[in-house]
Structure 1
């Protein structure tokens, strides 16, 4: 089956058939199937003319399908497309997938620029440290000779130490599995970075037919020694008696864990591993990316702050063991030699402590950073040496949380450098009061991760304060509520004020998710909010998990609100600083308004009380024309809800309904009479309404005269 789309018009014979069908249904957009042989086509015969809808300039959207719903790669049919260009890789991503997993010591996905070393040969500039359960992904595109378009690659292979761990080949695709494409491309990286990375592993729940051999989990890396850490820190093997035996400490435990949990992950021994990604197009042009992965846990230091008078962690401070840096307020960290701490100590006031006021003027306080030199130039967490000053208050602390399904990462950012230790505590009914070990990457940025299950379905308080303070007011205290939604069960989440509900059906996602629902102050929101205040802005997460079934958003409406048909649910477009219509289905009995979505984010209620603006571009009012089949072209604009489709407008010519073409991208409605119009005066009447039921009507007249000699 061949599909030709984004067309301007059909050939005369087919156009006549489709016109009859449009007249019969009184619609421009119709679907009609022909039985084999009803409309025969010969090779070389013109069947249609290309249009420009979709991408804005003339082109042909062409598909070959195995059946009605399964397109295949058309290049498999040996079309003569000139292509001597190999795929072009841009970035690599290394993605921690479970609690305690690391990519260069970080708990969140890290991306790396790819550098070219020879024609069609690329590599990463430096080794990447990994630990735990990790996935790789790559941002890559292909081109063909003489075309500016970017295409997908045909095959991708991940090889680790000469063993193939993952292979994908893009031959065909079923539209029944459209949502699953976000398991092949990394949806989380798309949501946060706006880039399309190909996963080099089969994500859980992925049922696409691209992979051989196929098994969810293929390509995921599992490092030696991680199973013991995972077992001790979580309930991963709860109820398994062997988990507490000497097996945990043996070199057989990782494979035991994978066998027991039935995970087809690839076990990597500690040390250096050579990885290669091969990308190939259908013409056999190939490129490669090589990288070194170094398997070793980057242990979180028990302490990261020391004073000049304290013993160093290992007792040694030589240049051979550490790389030293001294902080400069303007230039940041500058390379330095191992300092003479007795000199630095005497330079501070009295007993080695600077005055609290000097905290704000950190250039006057000697601050050093030491990074331990490790094998393979893999960085280690830094250690900071200061005078021991502790500030009375650290302003502008910002706490962010990143839910990564089985674990949640918290990041803390301070505008003022933190020169003394502080403590982080989590408090809820499930875990009680728990001291959290965090990591400082520098003096302004800190992070830690916890099992999402430990902080789910209970109000959790996070408290940040100085280590030496007891009754002192915390530097930061924040509460949050994380709701666990089992993928096999439906769940309803209700806002604190009871006015907003999120309803998630069973099997809406391929994984358990952890949702948050927070009210945002409308006055401080990043996108201006038009109209009266009908509801707060609700921030609903996760925003980086794809849904394969619609989840329902429901707002309660106050009884005193008038013209409720004008009210809809909207979400913001931060780039264009505007609001997009989501839906406005109403339950009149319950005084509610709801909408189905397959994504989460920011939502609020807005009123659209302004009708669409309309301009009849051609013909002009009272125009005198010689063309007896004039093209009627109308432009419309709407400020909020927009129009839903061709049922929302009506064009009449001399009192007769006209089947008109809608171009929603250009906001144009167009009609051309099939038969010549008679000489004389003619009238155009046009009505249009938006999805909030606001209506506009306009009319003009024009005159047809005979040919001007």
Structure 2
């Protein structure tokens, strides 16, 4: 049966993001993988075309993506869409849909390069509506291209009613952007044509390319970025021992970004190797290589996920999450922290997906280095917004060299050692001061930069040996007490004790006087 149909192209509802024309995703459910043919029959028909589909397997679902090929753009108006799926036994499921396209179609372009002249042929004869510009590969600025006259110096016809010619700039490689402007609808339809010399030297001077992974509930988004425009063809290849090698179709939101997505279920079957290539013609250079290990964590059973270096483990209990999780741990070794904060004692471990809510806490464990002194000062921390490290907990198993904590969210975790005691900044009444007010406000301002204060029990104020019930303000890092009974005339003693979560203690004694 057909479970859901997502077709982004043509939709103009506010909750749809704009997408490249001609792409869509179909999700079906109801057949386990073993019932499908090795070459499952996928057919998608419009009145004019039979479109090829790219298949990804996800649990009991097939995710089908309509390949973005030339001449597959839909004209404005109403279209009938028929999709048929056939299983191993020949059982066929069919769905009929109606597509409404409201935007004008972008005419199909073909181009050729002869020397420094680029000639563009179009299925639309409205040459006046076609505008072209190029980007400077050094500055990233766009410049307008001026079309040549209808005849060259030797009177040879170089432009026709359906074509235009432009002189290419000397800076190469370049990206050419064509726009069809519709003055009546006040809209434009931009797309790009890439052109270069297909020269190996161009590839050797590639900018630095980075691969980022964004983990969502059921799939991962790969983002290939660069600080400058990417003019070479970028290829993203995945290899897994179970399903072999797949090259993903990349979309291009801008010149410095390529994106693709892939189901996490397929990645959880075995270790996946990721390779990013830059290609020009027959030349291909490996720019980025990475390894991805994803663990599927069911809802109804316990599961432990161990990091690659086996020094970090996260344990899930049954029913700790409301849907199956696809967990990935990554070791971040080059994270920069501010100089005034101590550096982590171990790498930072990133557990994805970090935005999935948990029903109940899960347990994370670190194996701390054997050579560390003052182990009791260690704590598990996570990068926070208010300070560089937020303390989580520090339960220590000295026998097995383990420190552990319970967390309600996934994310980034590491071990930090806090050896610095809290600092008392100001005390009122001031030491040695003389007051007439016999009902003074006692207030202490302090600073704790790392592990923080666990609770009010870690702050003690004693006035003349009597413990005070104080008001603790964690936001302003202060503790105060309003004296309720008049103090006697003479000398009084105030004792201050502050302990942080790592056991570091700060103590101070202040004497003040009450006079007539």
After TM superposition, the score normalised by the length of structure 2 is 0.72
Is 2:272 the counterpart of 1:460? yes
Shift in alpha-carbon separation, 1:559–1:414, aligned structure 2, 3 A: closer
Matches within 5 A, 1:542-691: 542-573=353-384, 578-691=388-501
- CA distances 1:456-509 after superposition (whole Å, capped 9, x unpaired): 253222222245677854133222222222333332111111111122233333
Aligned partners of 2:198 and 2:281 also within 8 Å = no
Single out whichever of 439-448 and 373-382 deviates more from structure 2.
373-382
Deviations along 1:495-525, whole A, 9 cap, x unmatched?
Answer: 1111111222333333333222111224x52
Look up the match of 2:245: 433
Residues in 1 aligned to 2:498 and 2:263: alpha-carbon distance in whole angstroms: 53
User: How far did residue 334 of structure 1 move?
Assistant: 5.4
Contact 2:237 2:246 in 1 (8 A): yes
CA distances 1:344-386 after superposition (whole Å, capped 9, x unpaired): 99967xxxxx9xxx7xx44xx5642236789999987834142
Alignment CA distance shift 1:443-1:506 (3 Å)? same
* Residues 277-335 of structure 1: per-residue CA shift (max 9 Å, x gap): xxxxxxxxxxxxxxxxx799x99xxx999753699999637557985431132574456
Q: How does 1:185-200 map to 2 (within 5 A)?
A: none
Helix, strand or coil at the partner of 2:389: strand
In structure 2, relative to structure 1, the CA distance for the partners of 1:535 and 1:232 (3 Å cut) is: closer
Residue deviations 1:85-142 (CA, integer Å, cap 9, x gap): xxxxxxxxxxxx9997648899xx9779xxxxxxxxxxxxxxx9995589xxxxxxxx
Match of 2:193 among 384, 405, 409: 384
> What are the within-5 Å matches in structure 2 for residues 7-406 of structure 1?
102=8, 232-235=55-58, 243-244=86-87, 247-251=92-96, 269-271=98-100, 308=113, 316=123, 318-319=125-126, 324-329=131-136, 332-333=141-142, 361-362=171-172, 367-370=175-178, 382-390=191-199, 391-393=202-204, 394-406=206-218
Unaligned runs of 5+ in 1: 1-96, 113-127, 135-223, 253-268, 273-293, 349-353
CA distance in 2, matches of 1:489, 1:229: 40
Q: 1:453 to 1:308 in 2, by over 3 A?
A: farther
Farther off after superposition, 660-669 or 443-452: 443-452
Long gaps (5+) in structure 2: 28-44, 63-83, 150-156
- Give 3-state SS (helix, strand or coil) of 1:600's partner: coil
- Distance between the aligned counterparts of 1:406 and 1:376, measured in 2? 39
Residue range with higher mean Cα deviation, 418-427 or 372-381? 372-381
- CA–CA distance in structure 2, aligned partners of residues 517 and 305 of structure 1: 46
Q: Residue 481 of structure 1: which of 289, 293, 298 is its match?
A: 293
Question: In structure 2, do the counterparts of structure 1 residues 617 and 305 end up closer, same or farther at CA, with 3 Å as the change threshold?
Answer: farther
1-structure distance, mates of 2:267, 2:189 = 29
Could you state the TM-score of these two structures normalised by the residue count of structure 1?
A: 0.54
Give the RMSD, CA atoms, in angstroms.
Answer: 4.5
Q: 1:609-645: per-residue Cα shift (whole Å, max 9, x none)?
A: 1111114521111222222221111112112111111
2:198–2:280 Cα contact (<8 Å) kept: no
1:605 Cα deviation (Å)? 0.9
Alignment partner, residue 493 of structure 1: 305
CA distance in 1, matches of 2:60, 2:216: 20
Match of residue 413, structure 1, among 222, 225, 240: 225
What is the total number of aligned residue pairs between the two structures? 447
Cα 1:323/1:585, change in 2 over 3 Å? farther
Q: Per residue, is there more helix in 1 or in 2?
A: 1
Q: Which one has a larger percent strand, Structure 1 or Structure 2? A: 2
Q: Distance in 2 between matches of 1:98 and 1:372?
A: 34
Deviation at 1:700, TM superposition (A): 1.1
Distance verdict in 2 for CA 1:458–1:295, change over 3 Å? farther
Alpha-carbon distance in structure 2 between the residues aligned to 1:551 and 1:305: 57
**SS of structure 2 residue aligned to 1:641:** coil
Question: Counterparts of 2:371 and 2:61 in 1: how far apart (Å)?
Answer: 54
User: Aligned partners of 1:626, 1:495: CA distance in 2, in Å?
Assistant: 64
Deviation for aligned residue 1:437: 1.7
Give the equivalent residue in structure 2 for 1:63. none
Deviations 1:518-577 (A, max 9, x none): 11224x52555833652112222212222232222211123332221111011223x556
1:335 to 1:550, Cα distance in 2 relative to 1, 3 A = farther
The answer (yes or no) to whether the contact 1:426–1:461 under 8 Å persists in 2 is: yes
Shift in Å at residue 448 of structure 1?
1.5
The answer as to 2:344 corresponding to 1:515 is: no
Alpha-carbon spacing, 1:247–1:378, altered in 2? closer, same or farther (3 Å): farther
Distance 1:332 1:103 in 2: 29
Residue in 1 that maps onto 2:342: 531
Change (3 A) 1:547 1:372: farther
User: Greater relative contact order: 1 or 2 (C-alpha under 8 angstroms, separation 6 or more)?
Assistant: 1
Could you say if the C-alpha distance between residues 321 and 444 of structure 1 is closer, same or farther in structure 2, counting changes exceeding 3 Å?
farther
CA distance in 2, matches of 1:584, 1:304: 64
Hey, what's the Cα distance between the residues in 2 that align with 1:513 and 1:322? 51
